[in-house]
Structure 1
Amino acid sequence: MQTTWSSSDFSSIKLLGIFEDISNTSESDEISIHSRAMFKAAIFLSHEYNMTIDGQFIGWQIIQTSGNVMDCFSSTCLAVSTGNIVGIVGPELSREVLVIAPFANRIGIPVISYAATDPELADRKTYPAFYRTVPSDDTAALSIAQLFIKFNWTSCIIIYQNDAFGSGAFKAITQTFNRYNLNVSQSIIFDIATLEIQGNLQTYLTSCSSRIVILWAQPTYITLILQSALDFDVLGPLFTWMLSSSVSLNSFNQNFHEKLIGMLTIQPTLDVSGKLINRTLLNAAYQIWQQHEPGSFPGSTNVSDYALFAFDSTWSLIQSLQQLCSTNANNASSCISIVNSSFCFNSRFMNSNSFFKGIINTTFLGVSGPIQFSANVTNRINGSYYVAQSVQYSSNTIDYVSVLEWSDDTSWIDVQQSNTIVWPDNSLVPPNGFARLANVNIRIGVIESIPFTTISNVIDQYGQNKTTLVGYVPDLINLLQNRMGFISQVILAPPNQTYAGLVNAVANGVYDIVVGDVTITA
């Protein structure tokens, strides 16, 4: 992609941007492309506004990571040891932040991430140099729990990738569900090293009573998992899937699009009516982006929200550097004092304490809303917003349609009345969240126990002697079968079968369920 971003070699004061390398993904990653462009746009805009530090414009340096934590750290170490890096924007991945944030604290520079959502990163004592403009997954978990309550769902299955991003979200959702008396019935791990589910996806899903599946993974992994679900036929209409991120729907065979109908995505959003943002900064940044990298600019309505978080991360560092130097204006020494070393661990930003305090004290209206960081946790203080999008037919193809908005003030509300939620099987009725038994064969074990289940010999229409079961239990089974549509295979247990033996028979797959009376003996 052709760009005209000018070099930043003119400056000895630089911000380091850490972004995912899209060449290592199976599909174009708009989060990385857009966030990188808005990082540069923020720095170029500071030049247009004549914002200088010690008489210099701020420069920039970018490293791209493949998701390998050690490679990310190695590249960051090299950048610090060869240039005057005064702050870091990124990384995108939570597992990379777990290493980069402690390193940055050691050398005295701040890290502000635009996409790392692991709740464990919120601990200010553990990560004193870390900040983030994106909401934590603790907030996402709260929004999901309230969505379950809205639709009277009580349980779910969670599939998550086995790193800080996935396990952090799984922990947050589980803890939040416990507070709301909701249940995580099954957890399934996707291994990011082997790119496979640990175990059999079909068996996991079909053996679970819940039919709501929460999938928490990076977009590239979501595509792989959904394709596997299509292969096993465990998407719609049998299951309702809820994704942590939207992915390209064109990557799936058009013949299977019907099975994707009714999927939901739950993502941070900035496109909320009445939300206060700095449109002057936003329009100026877009203009710079279009000037220097027109090929990647998707139009103002299609820019990833994470790119706006990236701009505000960068602008926070620029504003804080200005504040740091303004308080140092009466001193003869430079406000930017750096001890450089060829060994990155020995590099030091000498005014780190004042710099960190300046970030917490800096407030401004950013392109993603009001920006202010907490002194107690690493999260931003101001309100968070999420959008629920439904996969449905739109203009003869399937697409994501925004249907619900969430904020910590209002919970879930309709985006607009014309945007109706379409559920799996193109239904307008929300699923109940449990397995549907229509046309499912169920082996039902029963025991002879008068009057609940009695063996009766009758003469059928052909004059043959036939043994049937009568009583309360057979009548109950027939009633349930008529109402629920399952196909029953009633099996009479041996007369010497014990209660423990019946339980073991269900556990060993002899019966699917056992129906019988229970006698109180003590």
Structure 2
Amino acid sequence: MIGSEYVWIITDACANLLDWFNATSLLSMNGILGIRRTLPQTDQPRMNEFAKRWKQRFRAQNPTIQKPELNAGALVAYDTAWALAYAIDRLLRQGSFDGGFSATSSSTKILNFKIFDGGEDLLNQILETCFLGLSGPVRISRERDETLECSYDIINVIGNSYKAVGSWTEKGLNISSKHLVHWGGGSRKKPRGWVKPAPGQKLKIAVPWLQGFTQFILVKEDHANAGAQNQIYEITGLSIDVFKSVVKRLDYKLPYELIVDK
């Protein structure tokens, strides 16, 4: 399914790792499209100095990796650690950590754990934290519907490397006219898309039966509607809602069947 007439789109989590793949792995992904958060340009001298120090330490700890590269996800993680450090520092200066721990019972005598009781105070300090990080302005808000100011590069794997063919920002999608997308199989011709299925043929989609993160996928047995031979399942969650919304926006009808994978 990596050949012609197929399209693979990878998410930010996978696209961030492309710099770590060897040439053989990239060649097997030829024609893949992906989105990757754009590296910020807020403070380039500071960024260059940090990248230099990071690469020196990383090479010392991971000598087998030849070309270590920073990505936006790593910078966000770095700034997140600093945001937490700033918040804890303010609590320490206020003396809020004194007596802020309660003992907990343990079945072992080796470890005596304590629980921090100032979670709400720490959260308030985090919400008040605001500084210019390596990933851009860092400000955490309680408002979950607040617009995130970030942009993504649209990248295309070609041969044993990749290049940006466009961008995706809050202003919309922008595809560069300078670069032609290389599709699966090395073709530059746009795939036709979904071919009209034969009567009764459906796209079968495996749905994992997960024990955790039920907000994304939740599978429950539907005993009321179960038949004599086959078990019927009620499948809900954010991932399912997003999938169904995308299917409704397609220019063609896509018959499908969700199959629970235990």
Q: What is the TM-score when the length of structure 2 is the normalising length? A: 0.56
| From 100, 112, 121, the counterpart of 1:337 | 100
Q: How far did residue 324 of structure 1 move?
A: 2.8
1:471-490 equivalences under 5 Å are none
- Counterpart residue identity of residue 389, structure 1: I
Q: How far did residue 322 of structure 1 move?
A: 2.5
- Counterpart residue identity of residue 2, structure 2: L
Match of 1:432 in 2: 192
Distance 1:289 1:340, change over 3 A: farther
1:59-98 equivalences under 5 Å are none
Q: Which runs of 5+ in 1 are unaligned?
A: 1-233, 444-522
Distance 1:427 1:287, change over 3 A: closer
Match of 1:407 in 2: 169
| From 31, 35, 38, the counterpart of 1:270 | 38
| Aligned counterparts of 2:22 and 2:51: Cα–Cα separation in 1 | 27
| Aligned counterparts of 1:251 and 1:300: Cα–Cα separation in 2 | 15
Q: How far did residue 381 of structure 1 move?
A: 5.5
Q: How far did residue 380 of structure 1 move?
A: 7.9
Q: Which runs of 5+ in 2 are unaligned?
A: 200-262
Q: How far did residue 325 of structure 1 move?
A: 3.6
1:126-137 equivalences under 5 Å are none
Number of equivalenced pairs? 187
Normalized per residue, the structure richer in helix is: 1
Distance 1:322 1:424, change over 3 A: same
Does the CA contact (< 8 Å) of 1:336 and 1:351 recur in 2?
A: no
| Aligned counterparts of 1:355 and 1:320: Cα–Cα separation in 2 | 6
1:122-521 equivalences under 5 Å are 234-244=1-11, 245-246=14-15, 248=21, 250-251=23-24, 257=28, 260-267=29-36, 269-271=37-39, 275-279=40-44, 281-295=46-60, 296=62, 302-326=69-93, 328=94, 334=97, 337-341=100-104, 343=106, 347-377=114-144, 382-393=148-159, 398-408=160-170, 410-414=171-175, 417-435=177-195
- Counterpart residue identity of residue 85, structure 2: I
Q: What is the TM-score when the length of structure 1 is the normalising length? A: 0.31
- Counterpart residue identity of residue 54, structure 2: W
Distance 1:388 1:420, change over 3 A: same
Does the CA contact (< 8 Å) of 1:371 and 1:381 recur in 2?
A: no
| Aligned counterparts of 1:250 and 1:429: Cα–Cα separation in 2 | 24
Q: How far did residue 314 of structure 1 move?
A: 0.5
Does the CA contact (< 8 Å) of 2:9 and 2:34 recur in 1?
A: yes
User: How far does the alpha carbon of each residue in 1:185-207 deviate from its partner, in whole angstroms, 9 at most, with x for none?
Assistant: xxxxxxxxxxxxxxxxxxxxxxx
- Counterpart residue identity of residue 130, structure 2: T
Structure possessing the higher radius of gyration over alpha carbons: 1
Does the CA contact (< 8 Å) of 2:88 and 2:122 recur in 1?
A: yes
| Aligned counterparts of 1:253 and 1:406: Cα–Cα separation in 2 | 23
Q: How far did residue 310 of structure 1 move?
A: 1.3
SS at the partner of 1:375? coil
| Aligned counterparts of 2:79 and 2:99: Cα–Cα separation in 1 | 22
Aligned-pair identity (%):
19
Q: How far did residue 369 of structure 1 move?
A: 1.4
- Counterpart residue identity of residue 264, structure 1: L
| Aligned counterparts of 1:425 and 1:310: Cα–Cα separation in 2 | 36
Q: How far did residue 347 of structure 1 move?
A: 2.5
Q: Which has the higher contact order (CA 8 A, sep 6+)?
A: 2
**What RMSD in Å do the two structures reach over aligned CA positions?**
3.8
